[in-house]
Structure formats: C-alpha cells, structure tokens
Amino acid sequence: LTLNSTVSVTSIIGHINLILVAQCPETTLERWNSVRDHMNDILNTIQKNFRFPQNIHAIAIDDSKIQRKLLGKFFDFMGLGPEQCTILGDGADEIKGFEDFVVTFMNSHKNDYVFMVVDENLDVVDESSGTDESISGSVCVENIRRRLPYELERRLFALVRSANDSTSDIAIYNDRAHGFLPKAPIRREKVVETLAPLWLKRFPPAQFGDSVAYENADDSESITSEELACSAQDIAHKLIEMDARFNTDDRSENWRWMHDQLHELKGDILTMTSDASMISVLGMINLLLGYKDSILITEKWPKLRDRIYSVINEERTSSGTVQAASSRWTKVKVTLKAKSSVAETGALAKQKRRSSLSHSFQSTTTTERRSSALSNSIKSVTTDVSDMSNL
C-alpha cells in the first residue's frame, strides 16, 4: 500500500485479502503462488518504468582514459545528458582536487541528488618531482561524507568501482561508501535494472518524494541492446603504451609505479567482453603484482603482453566482423611489434644503468640467495599459468 509507483496494486491487495480469509492450507498455498507471481510482474513493471529524477547529477573519477570513456557511456545508458555529468581523473590536479570539487559542487546544488562512481585505485604522478602516489577512492568518499553536513550527505549516493572484489574489499567499500560497482561489461538494458534497487534503498520514496520518476514504457519502442565494454582495440593500444613506458620511462625502476600500471590494465581487461581465456591473463597479472622487483617485472612483461595480444587477436579473428577489420588489426599488430622493438632498444640504456643493481642480485649473501630462490619459484608458477592458458 505504500509502494510509490504508477502501477495499480488493487488486484494484488484483493488476492492478499483472500489469503487472509482462507481456511485450509491448500487454498492458502494456491493463492500465495498467485500473489507471488503477480507481485513479481508488478516489480518487473516498476523496474521497467523506473527513471532517475531530473534533478540528478553524476560525478565519476578514474585515472584510466579507457574507463573514463566507459563511464561516459554508463551515464548515457542511465538516461542522463552530458550537462548532468562530470568525469574526472585526467591528471594529478583533478585527482587531488576531487574531494574539494565534490564538496563545493554539492553545496551549490543543495536540492539535487548526486550519484558518484569512484575508482578505488587512483594513481597520481607529480610531474615536477617525478614521485608517484596511490590514492584510495573509497577513502576519498569517506572524507567527502564526513565533510558534508547531514542534509547534503543524505542526498549523495556513492559507489566504489574496482577490479579488487574480494569479500573483505567489498566490505570496506560498503563501509566507506554506499555500495560497490564491479568492473565488468554490462548491457544497456541492465544498467537501470542494476542501479534501481540500490537507488531506492538509498532514497526511499517515502522519505524522498522526488527521488524517483516513473514513466510508462512503450513496449513498441525498440532499444538497441548495446554493451558497455572495453574493446579489443582499446587493449591493443594500451599494450603499446605500457610497453613503451616499461622500457623507456625512468619510473619503471620503481616497482610500485609498475604495479599501478598493471592494476590499471587489469581493470581495463575486466571490462572487456571476452571468453574464459582471459582467466589465464588475469592470473599472470596477479603473479606480476606479487613481484616487488622492477627488473623481474620488466623481464616477465613481454610474455604477458604477447599473451594478451594473442587472446584479443584470436577473439577478433573468430568474430563475424573480422574481414572488415582485418587490415586495421594487421596495422595494429605491426605497430605493436615496431614500437616494442624501439622500446626494447631504448631499454638497453636503462639496463646499463641497472647493471650494478643486477650484479648485486648475483652476490652470495644469505638474503640474496633467498631472493633468487623466490624468483625461481615465481618463474615456475608463471610457466604453469602459461601452460594452463594453452590448454
């Protein structure tokens, strides 16, 4: 009776009243099945007719250019216009100024709702000093919520989006923000279906009269079932960029910086439409993330890079659009090999700078022998992952 929607509930209330006067269990069960099915139909209709309110603004932040592009499409799938959306994360200034931006924005939009999607791992590079820093997106959300007065915080709906989705990780996101949004492909028609229950939980219509807008959906109107996903071409260009960075950028001597790059690649791959063959790729990335030695990461990177390219090229080859795209993919492959060759040539100078460090790894101290044993162990595991991927 308190359901806020345009769907009539008169019929189902009648069925519930019939259950209340039923005398035998068989009749009660039969009428309950009817009520349950009818209620499911109503909920499906409500979900189909659900619309976000006009006074909503969407704010997102991600340090990946690919993910920022996908977030723009995500908000479009929600039915929001460009004037309602702000996507940040392009550079240190936008990331470090994110908390202040949101607090200022909400103070100037006190009667509106703000939907926020925040990447968990925001990597910042200070160009002036060359130092790297990783900022937690969920901590940013927690800080924003603390800085906002109650009447504004209650109009904020913030989700943390991350490739790290363990039970403990999600528990942290739920504590600091209002929920978790996985990095995974999603179809246009599933976006509102996924968000509607979360939105209604955060903004119950009984408490927020203008938090939901319902429109009768036109069944005759066809909607293209487009998928929000990273493309194989996006990943190919990402590999080219990372290959150059790992072999020529001075920061590649910092394993933490290399981890940041691998985390970003992992997030992009998780939002790519792919088959189970990507499981081996994710396993190889996780193995590299276990290294705390930039030299070892540099040595293993070509194997991971070639494996990823092999997988995405196989998927493109098996698709129906391969003939139209074959010449383009040939160019991408040639470019990848050419740039990799240039990068590897540039890496010789970096390896010379590292020669003294590499030499020290071959010394016979107890600590270094343990490091060598650990390296051999991890190499063995990496080989197993590669073998698994070829099954």
Banded model confidence at residue 78, pLDDT cuts 50, 70, 90: very high
Determine what percent of the chain is predicted with pLDDT higher than 70. Answer: 70
Banded model confidence at residue 155, pLDDT cuts 50, 70, 90: very high
For residue 162, pLDDT beyond 60: yes
How far apart CA 280 and CA 9 sit, in angstroms, is 50
In the DSSP assignment, the letter for residue 126 is E
Tens digit of each residue's pLDDT (9 = 90 or more) over 191-220: 988 898 899 899 988 888 788 776 665 554
pLDDT at position 241 is 86
Tens digit of each residue's pLDDT (9 = 90 or more) over 279-289: 888 889 999 99
Span 361-372, average pLDDT: 42
Span 305-333, average pLDDT: 59
Full 3-state SS string of 32-67: HHHHHHHHHHHHHHHHHHEECCCCEEEEEECCCHHH
Sequence-ordered list of residues with C-beta below 8 angstroms from that of 200, at least 6 positions apart, any chain: 211, 212
pLDDT at position 133 is 84
How far apart CA 354 and CA 376 sit, in angstroms, is 20
pLDDT at position 179 is 95
Tens digit of each residue's pLDDT (9 = 90 or more) over 95-110: 999 999 999 999 999 9
Angle, CA 65 vertex, CA 61 and CA 67 arms, to 5°: 60
Span 327-348, average pLDDT: 47
For residue 49, pLDDT beyond 60: yes
User: Which residue's entry shows tokens 């940040």?
Assistant: 88
pLDDT at position 379 is 46
Report the DSSP beta bridge partners of residue 213.
Answer: 51
How far apart CA 368 and CA 366 sit, in angstroms, is 6
How far apart CA 15 and CA 33 sit, in angstroms, is 10
Positive or negative: CA dihedral 210, 152, 77, 277: negative
Q: Which amino acid is at 305?
A: R
How far apart CA 132 and CA 231 sit, in angstroms, is 28
Helices of type H across the chain: 10-20, 25-49, 65-77, 92-96, 98-107, 137-147, 150-153, 167-176, 188-202, 232-248, 255-270, 278-289, 294-318, 322-353, 355-361, 366-389
In the DSSP assignment, the letter for residue 362 is T
Mean pLDDT of the chain: 77
Q: Please indicate whether residue 300 or residue 324 has the higher confidence score (pLDDT).
A: 300
Tell me which residue of 281, 192, 200 sits closest to 235, measured CA to CA: 281
Sequence-ordered list of residues with C-beta below 8 angstroms from that of 52, at least 6 positions apart, any chain: 78, 79, 80, 115, 192, 199, 212, 213
pLDDT at position 152 is 97
For residue 57, pLDDT beyond 60: yes
User: Which residue's entry shows tokens 């619309």?
Assistant: 51
pLDDT at position 81 is 94
Residues in the chain: 391
pLDDT at position 188 is 86
Full 3-state SS string of 277-305: CHHHHHHHHHHHHCCCCHHHHHHHHHHHH
Report the DSSP beta bridge partners of residue 113.
Answer: 56
Q: Return the structure tokens found at 156.
A: 């904020």
How far apart CA 238 and CA 219 sit, in angstroms, is 40
User: Which residue's entry shows tokens 């492909």?
Assistant: 185
